[in-house]
């Protein structure tokens, strides 16, 4: 199940679901975005540090997602973040959404590091690259 990955617990609220109490497919992307944000914060690189100090930010370039089982109202989910690959300006992140011992969603997210003013690709800051470490 979940080992050696960043983990963010998220409760499913009414606003996350349709009339039947099932989480909207796009809401899973919001949960994963929140987990990546908190993962960066834990590494010491919140949005303000990235933008103000390093003059960069991350944008999603592409993603692949698979839905295995639905999440429903009041579920306690665990969203994982695991670095799969680091390039000069791109990070490939494997993310999963779990409920109890069941994997609900699996995704591969490719984010690109861009200059905060130009929105063009730039190198990932060395300090962040060192914090990320080598992917498994």
pTM for the whole structure: 0.91
Residue 69 forms part of a structural domain: yes
Domain count across the chain = 1
Q: Is the residue at 125 inside a domain?
A: yes
User: Which residue in 16, 18, 75, 82 is the catalytic one?
Assistant: 18
pLDDT in the model for residue 26: 95
Helix (H), strand (E) at residue 60: strand 56-67
Residue 1 lies in a domain: no
Q: Please check whether residue 82 lies inside any domain of the structure.
A: yes
Tens digits of per-residue pLDDT, 25-60? 999 999 999 999 999 999 999 888 899 999 999 999
Question: What is the domain extent for residue 127?
Answer: 6-132
Would residue 18 show up in a list of annotated catalytic residues for this protein?
Answer: yes
- 73 domain residue, yes or no: yes
Q: Please tell me the distance from the alpha carbon of residue 103 to that of residue 55, in angstroms, as a whole number.
A: 36
User: Are the CB atoms for 65 and 106 separated by under 8 Å?
Assistant: yes
Residue 135 — pLDDT band, cuts 50, 70, 90? low
> Which of 57-75 are b and which e, b meaning 16 or more Cβ less than 10 Å from the residue's Cβ?
bbeeeeeeeeeeebbeeeb
Burial classification of residue 121, based on how many CB atoms lie within 10 Å of its CB (0-12 exposed, 13-18 middle, 19 or more buried)? middle
CATH code at position 96: 3.10.129.10
């Amino acid at each position: 199940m979940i080992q050696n990955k960043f983990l963010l617990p998220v409760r499913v609220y009414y606003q996350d679901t349709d009339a039947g109490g099932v989480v909207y497919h796009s809401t899973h992307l919001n949960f994963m975005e929140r987990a990546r944000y908190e993962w960066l914060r834990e590494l010491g690189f919140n949005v303000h540090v990235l933008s103000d100090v390093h003059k960069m930010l991350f944008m999603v370039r592409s993603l692949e997602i698979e839905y295995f089982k639905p999440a429903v109202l009041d579920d306690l989910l665990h969203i994982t973040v695991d670095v799969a690959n680091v390039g000069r300006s791109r990070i490939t992140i494997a993310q999963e959404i779990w409920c109890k011992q069941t994997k609900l969603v699996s995704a591969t997210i490719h984010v690109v590091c861009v200059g905060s003013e130009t929105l063009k690709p730039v190198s990932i800051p060395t300090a962040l690259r060192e914090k990320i470490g080598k992917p498994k």
